[in-house]
Structure 1
């Protein structure tokens, strides 16, 4: 397994939902590491068809997704902490988010078109996977910061449209499931 953070910052997470997400991220990171160690630069940037993404493009897409979501999640966690909204009930996603997450699971077979603002770079290089692993530290840190606070109450808006709002718990869950989708 990849050590995601220095030992002094590895706070023990107590929330069951967040614990599951950390376990999932560790598996994702292990999978990315395996891909990087088993495939050449040429293989990582190879596209199966002109309309399908290479592995490097999938990694880049996940990084673009993170760049747009992580600051919004951080801002919402900061607001939750400032208001001292401590965890008082278990994480409860809305029916809409449950439905969305189920369509994003690798087993769903559901395909969706990527919004323009989440498309990967035209020509990502073979270092994109390593950069994704570095960016994963931010996601792990966000999860650790959210522990002990209300995952349901404050909402963040989607980078796609202000009409979509998610709780911190929902956003973190969607981010992890989205990564799983692109790695299977």
Structure 2
């Protein structure tokens, strides 16, 4: 199924992250050009937070105790917000959008070894995807 495509893409992204950011010092990985811009470390933590926020839902689906919210029955609303979110994260979009607070990384430099934590997280994400393949049917 297409879980293999997802896991392959995760492996490729992990290699690119390691190659691009693997040689940065802790100071460099936490550097911010200004107060409004996230550091590399904060961006990595943001990606981890986003992915981890979906793990409980996947587990509820696995345990068959997930209940869709009422708004999920309104297809036009789901499609609208999906398109808005997708458009907001495209590389060519110049207008920045604020993230949800649950996905916002902390402002401090507490994330030591964030690249290694990100790489470990990518492996957890791959495992979760592979374990969930039967839920996609």
Name the TM tier (shorter chain): 0.7 to 0.9
Give the secondary-structure state (helix, strand or coil) at the position aligned to 2:22: helix
Closer, same or farther: CA 22–101 of 1 in aligned 2, 3 Å: farther
In the alignment, does 2:104 pair up with 1:112?
Answer: no
Counterparts of 2:123 and 2:12 in 1: how far apart (Å)?
14
Which residue pairs with 1:101 in the alignment? Answer: 86
Report the Cα distance in structure 1 between the residues aligned to 2:88 and 2:59, rounded to whole angstroms.
Answer: 25
Q: Is the 8 A contact 1:44 1:126 kept in 2?
A: no
> For each residue in 1:131-179, what CA deviation from the matched residue of structure 2 results, as whole angstroms up to 9, or x when unmatched?
111111221112112223335xxxxxxxxxxxxxxxxxxxxxxxxxxxx
What residue in structure 2 maps to residue 133 of structure 1?
A: 119
Indicate conservation of the 8 Å contact 2:29/2:41, yes or no.
yes
CA-based RMSD of the aligned residues comes to 2.4
SS for the counterpart of 2:17 is helix
Name the CA shift for 1:24/1:98 in 2 (closer, same or farther; >3 Å).
Answer: farther
Compare the two structures and name the one with the higher helix fraction. 2
User: Would you say the 8 A contact 1:44–1:56 is kept in 2?
Assistant: yes
Contact 1:74 1:142 in 2 (8 A): no
Query: What count of residue pairs does the alignment treat as equivalent?
Result: 123
How far apart are 1:126 and its partner, in Å?
4.1
How far apart, CA to CA, are the structure 2 residues paired with 1:35 and 1:127? 15
On the 8 A contact 2:22/2:115 being kept in 1, the answer is no
Which blocks of at least 5 consecutive residues in structure 1 are unaligned? 1-13, 81-93, 152-184
Between 1 and 2, higher relative CO (CA 8 Å, sep ≥ 6) is seen in: 2
User: 1:171 maps to what in 2?
Assistant: none
Say whether the 8 Å CA contact 1:77–1:145 is kept in structure 2.
no
Distance of 1:23 and 1:131 partners within structure 2: 19
